[in-house]
Structure 1
């Protein structure tokens, strides 16, 4: 029973989240005690499911861009011609962790305007570090015997990268992407302060109207998404580890 209990709880969480997004009014009696008399218990200034999908879209775009740049940087600094750029690359990917998200948004808005773009910039910068470091670690710790065997078969450097190094490194890279996504899911809520369409709208509306139910809705949806996506990527990472023999 213990083996399937976590899976059951994740499935239950997923079902509750979907039910809440599709029919939030069903949960109104649970949230009504958290609001003042005559105040709405369910967010009524927009569609929760639309905001959730837009939130996920923003996180997805930023994560894809961060993944491409971080992996390319890690590949470059693990080649002989790019090894000298490792300190510079580390400095670049640490920029997002150096500045608070609000500061990045404040700097980005004058350049690209309000909306989704400054949020994408902030999430992109914040997502670089875990993906870069995991990719770098994976590429520099590949089994020596495997690499020597690949060279012995006459593979070129590019063939070894595509057919040996990246496939073996994939589980660790996915681990970095998992961390990046969780960071972005939480950070994206701040994007609503610069007019980005995210679940931060729900939280901000709750703060402005002193509505605890709104704050709880926004926070719990983001938290549930983070748990479910984290678990899904953990399962993908475990599957890839078994297939590559690096479990």
Structure 2
């Protein structure tokens, strides 16, 4: 069985990332040219692996909440009884994109205090729109013949939703979740400005000490995570589309 170049690249990226998180000091010669004399080349004020896991947890919690709420709004807006709520649902989903995450943090900190909670609120709002719009598109562009066949088979509205509509719309929904996750991975770094434990801690430490090695390390970890997760979710999306008999992306 031939192994594609893309698979080799993915495996190499994952191997380098894991090696750096587990034994970062082994990469010190790579980052040493970026720092001044006597300055540390590897961030050691916190455990890189733990910061990465906490960063991923924050993104996962926010994305899970955004997925539930965005899908619920889209389903409601595509039902006959909830069609009139479509403009309101779209306005709510747009809040996160029109309201800067930094402003959300500034408003949330006085109420929720410092830490992870304000970051979760900001990421939740920021992740709503892609999932909502993709779910809405998936549910409103289904082949009419399929819906009529399900109706002719005697399915109730709820049965059609769970057995026909959502399975067929799932690839598009997953695409929205994928986009939301990648956006949140990068945006979560600002959570460290309000004492949330994210990879932004490394970047901020580098900016404060004029240590470009720290900045690069934080940016590279986030970037590699985004690439790997985007690629993994894309593979799941293609598999789901194939099972549903839908065309897949290359």
* TM, length-normalised to structure 2: 0.97
CA distance in structure 2 between the aligned counterparts of 1:72 and 1:3, rounded to whole angstroms? 41
Aligned with 2:141: secondary structure?
Answer: coil
Per the TM alignment, residue 83 of structure 1 is displaced from its structure 2 partner at its CA by 0.4
Distance 2:132 2:111 in 1: 26
Paired residue for 1:212? 212
1:185 aligned onto 2:181: no
Deviations 1:47-87 (A, max 9, x none): 00000000000000000000000000000000011100100
Provide the C-alpha distance between the structure 1 equivalents of 2:53 and 2:136, rounded to a whole number of angstroms: 32
Partner of 1:38 in structure 2?
38
Q: Which residue of 2 aligns with 1:157?
A: 157
C-alpha displacement at 1:3, in angstroms? 7.2
Aligned to 1:195: 195
Where 1:167 maps in the other structure, the secondary structure is helix
Separation in structure 2 between the aligned mates of residue 127 and residue 83 of structure 1, nearest angstrom: 23
Could you give the per-residue CA deviations for residues 207-232 of structure 1, whole angstroms, max 9, x where no partner exists? 00000000000000000000000000
- Per the normalisation by structure 1, the TM-score is 0.98
Separation in structure 2 between the aligned mates of residue 2 and residue 100 of structure 1, nearest angstrom:
46
Shift of the alpha carbon at 1:164? 0.6
Query: Residue 137 of structure 1 aligns to a residue in which SS?
Result: helix
1:101-135: per-residue Cα shift (whole Å, max 9, x none)? 11110011111111000000000000000000000
* Offset of residue 152 of structure 1: 0.7
CA RMSD of aligned residues (A): 1.1
Task: List structure 1 runs of 4+ shifted beyond 2 angstroms.
Answer: none
Distance 1:137 1:118 in 2: 30
Equivalence for 1:68: 68
Distance 1:36 1:235 in 2: 43
Residue of structure 1 equivalent to 2:242: 242
Partner Cα separation in structure 2 for residue 202 and residue 165 of structure 1: 44
Residue 26 of structure 1: aligned partner: 26
Mapped to 2, the partners of 1:233 and 1:144 lie a distance apart of: 28
**More displaced 10-residue stretch of structure 1: 121-130 or 101-110:** 101-110
In 1, distance between residues paired with 2:100 and 2:153?
49
Provide the rounded CA distance (Å) in 2 between the counterparts of 1:235 and 1:84. 36
Q: Distance in 2 between matches of 1:96 and 1:37?
A: 43
Query: Tell me, which stretches of 5 or more residues in structure 1 are unaligned?
Result: none
Post-superposition shift, 1:99?
Answer: 1.3
CA shift for structure 1 position 238? 0.7
TM-fit CA distance, 1:246: 1.5
In structure 2, stretches of 5+ residues that fail to align are: none
Q: Is 1:78 aligned to 2:107, yes or no? A: no
Q: Distance in 1 between matches of 2:107 and 2:87?
A: 25
